[in-house]
Structure formats: C-alpha cells, structure tokens
C-alpha cells in the first residue's frame, strides 16, 4: 500500500486541478458540468481499505465543494459512491477475481468492463448529487435527465483520460 501513495497523491491533485480549472469552467448551459474528479476514486487499487476510500473521497468532495460553492453535496455523493464501490467491483469482478497488484483500468480489464464499472459509479453519483442539489422530487424527470446527461459527459472524459494518460 505504501508504494502507491505518491502516485495516487499526484492523481488526487491532478484530478482536483483539472476539475477546478477546466471542467468547472466548461459548463455546457447551466446544468451540464462533468465530474471528472471521480476518476481518482475510480482508479484506486482494488485492495484499497474501505476506511481509506471513505476518508479520501470525503476530502476530495469537500475540496470540490469549496471551489464550486456547494455546501457538502459533492462530499456526500462522493462518500456514498466510495462506500458502495467494493460492492460494485464485486458485481463486475471476473470469474477468477481481480489480478493482485492491478487497478481498475482499461489497460487491464478492457473498455467494456471499464465502461460498465464507470457508468454505474458515475450514474449513482450524479443522481445523488443532483437530487441533493434540488432537494425535492418535484422536478424528478428533469433532475434525472440532467444527471444522466452529466453522467454520459463524465464517462466520456474519464474514458478519454484512460487513452491519454494511462497508456500501457
């Protein structure tokens, strides 16, 4: 675990910087804003302890909330998906399990596996994020449609990053 701390610390910082200075600034209309920072949570090693997932996702969400001026909703949504991440990974695990020392990446498990894994995490995150922001079910269809479009945008940029930053 110690050996991958510097690499993932750098990924943590890069994801925050990209989210704050690029993705928060490229809002498409008023509603669509990709949550690229989820890449950090998605790429943490399989053997990451749950307590570490929860703490890092909370800090990540709080930092994004501070820059986006959203009072805790990113932190709440990010902690929730960090909490359910192990179950989602179990849902998509290969028959023989994950190879020791690997991370959830396209280069290890293929684009189909990575897309399904990413899509589930991102959709859950976005639905929770937008329902917390709206804090009502009055416009549920609009909230769901905005969350789904944001999910697709987020998945597009996360998968694109796999081909740009994480080539084998």
Question: What local confidence, expressed as pLDDT, does residue 147 receive?
Answer: 92
Through-space distance between the first and last CA atoms of the chain, rounded to whole angstroms: 21
Over residues 102-161, the pLDDT tens digits come to: 789 898 888 999 999 999 999 999 999 999 988 887 888 988 999 999 999 999 999 999
Question: What CATH number has the domain bearing residue 106?
Answer: 1.10.1760
What local confidence, expressed as pLDDT, does residue 2 receive? Answer: 62
Instruction: Name the CA dihedral angle for 105, 4, 21, 115, rounded to a multiple of 10 degrees.
Output: 10
Taking phi over 0 as left and psi of -120 to 50 as alpha, with beta for the rest, 68 belongs to: alpha
What distance separates the 2 farthest-apart alpha carbons in the chain?
Answer: 48
Residue 47 domain boundaries: 2-165
Question: What pTM did the predictor assign?
Answer: 0.91
Burial (0-12, 13-18, 19+ Cβ within 10 Å), 110: exposed
């Amino acid at each position: 675990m110690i050996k991958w701390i510097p690499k993932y610390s750098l990924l943590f910082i890069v994801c925050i910087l990209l989210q704050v200075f690029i993705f928060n600034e490229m809002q498409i209309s008023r509603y669509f804003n990709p949550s690229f920072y989820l890449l950090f949570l998605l790429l943490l090693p399989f053997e990451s302890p749950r307590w570490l997932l929860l703490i890092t996702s909370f800090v990540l969400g709080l930092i994004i909330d501070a820059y986006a001026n959203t009072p805790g909703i990113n932190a709440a949504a990010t902690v929730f998906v960090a909490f359910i991440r192990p179950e989602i990974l179990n849902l998509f695990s290969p028959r023989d399990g994950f190879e020791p020392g690997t991370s959830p990446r396209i280069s290890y498990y293929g684009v189909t596996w990575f897309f399904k894994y990413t899509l589930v995490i991102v959709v859950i995150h976005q639905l929770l994020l937008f329902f917390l922001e709206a804090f009502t079910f009055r416009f549920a269809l609009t909230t769901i449609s905005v969350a789904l479009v944001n999910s697709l945008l987020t998945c597009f940029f996360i998968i694109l990053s796999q081909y740009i930053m994480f080539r084998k």
